[in-house]
Amino acid sequence: AQSGEVAADPQQYDQAYLSPVTIGNSELMLDFDTGSADLWAFSNETPASQSQGHERYDSATGTELDGYSWSITYGDQSGAGGNVYTDKVVVGGVTATRQAVEAATSVSASFSQNIDSDGLLGLAFSSINTVQPRQQTTFFDTVRPTLAKALFTCDLRQGDAGSYTFGYIDSSKYQGTVTYVPVDDSQGFWQFTAGGYSVGGDNATSGSVGTAIADTGTSLLYLPAAVTKAYYEQAGGRYDNQQGGYTLPCNGGAPDFSVAIGGKTFTVPGSYIAYAPLTTGSSTCFGGIQPDTGIGFSIFGDVFLKAVYAIFDVSQGSPRLGFAAQ
Ligand SMILES: O=C(NNC1=NCCC1)c1ccc(Br)cc1
């Protein structure tokens, strides 16, 4: 049985985390994304005008799926599209011999401009893979029957290298016990229910967060508008229309944010929520918590995930998420 571990290296401000992947004989840095289900890369088929500074997948090593294509739009309105190959993909020693690899023929500006990222490796459910005419499986679904345990884990860290594992849980990476919650995969996401919250350890805050997804591909923590408003009232933040979100002082006084999941409380340090200065040297920071208005549910992105050890587990028949304090 296979198992393995790969580093997750943070970009500036932990905006995204990138992991090394070998596709054919190309070595690429991909953004592992539990919020989508396509494995795509900049390629020899991506226009030079869009791929300056990126490593590219050489599709010559692959077998083209004739007449197949893909096209994806992400929650932040970025997107890409192209052709489809099968090729050997290796992640931390775990090998998929015939993985669908989606070669980009077009990518949106934010992907071209982020030269650290050579593409994405989707880890949501294969039901939302965009390949036509026949949907393809994610890397995890492709290797799942060969894994020691049908699960992968995510250990993202603030400003430091973390890791993803496939096929095993590394109990040295968390403290205390793991709390498991059921996952509703009907929309293709790692969707769960979050409970009550508190700001700055003040257990007077009431209400509950509700339906949420665990999304490594989203940088911030998007919560219901009422919860977000309650947080910034205590944090001394304000909604800045020009910035299109809440901002707050960078000065280190931001309160912690705690949320109950499966009856256990998980805490995001205030320092994670003073996310990044509006511009270099500014004493005002963009907030790591923002309202989930219009999305339909909350998004537990990297700001939350780097405060926990997360286990994405399909070994029990029904999918489940495990969380433990880091
Ligand atoms: O696209 C999503 N996550 N991944 C990525 N974002 C940007 C690049 C990769 C996403 C998924 C579900 C919801 Br609801 C909102 C956003």
Q: What is the pLDDT of residues 156-205, one digit of tens each?
A: 999 999 999 999 999 999 999 999 999 999 999 999 999 999 999 877 66
Q: Which ligand 1 atom minimizes the distance to the CA of 296?
A: 14
Indicate which residues carry an active-site annotation.
33, 215
Looking at residue 256, the DSSP 8-state letter turns out to be P
Beta bridge partners of 147: 2
| Ligand 1 pocket, CB under 6 A | 33, 35-36, 74-76, 78, 213, 215, 217-218, 295, 299
Q: For the chain, give the mean pLDDT.
A: 97
As a whole number, mean pLDDT of residues 232-240 equals 97
Supply the pTM of this predicted model: 0.98
Q: What is the ipTM of this complex?
A: 0.97
Q: Going by CA atoms, what residue is nearest to atom 12 of ligand 1?
A: 35
Q: What is the pLDDT of residues 33-47, one digit of tens each?
A: 999 999 999 999 999
**Ligand 1 center from residue 272 Cα (angstroms):** 20
Spatial separation of the C-alpha atoms in residues 65 and 286, rounded to whole Å: 44
Q: Going by CA atoms, what residue is nearest to atom 15 of ligand 1?
A: 75
**In terms of residues, how long is the chain?**
326
The half-sphere exposure of 92 on its side-chain side, counting CA atoms within 13 A, is 23
**Ligand 1 center from residue 217 Cα (angstroms):** 6
Continuous H helices in 160-216: none
Q: Which amino acid is located at 97 in the chain?
A: T
**Ligand 1 center from residue 187 Cα (angstroms):** 13
pLDDT band at 206 (very low <50, low <70, confident <90, very high): confident
Q: Do residues 179 and 262 make contact, with C-beta atoms less than 8 angstroms apart?
A: yes
3-state helix, strand, coil in the chain (%, to 5): 15, 50, 35
Q: Exposure pattern of 255-264 as b/e (b: 16+ CB <10 Å)?
A: bbbbbbbbeb
Q: Going by CA atoms, what residue is nearest to atom 13 of ligand 1?
A: 75
Handedness of CA 310, 313, 265, 220 (dihedral sign): positive
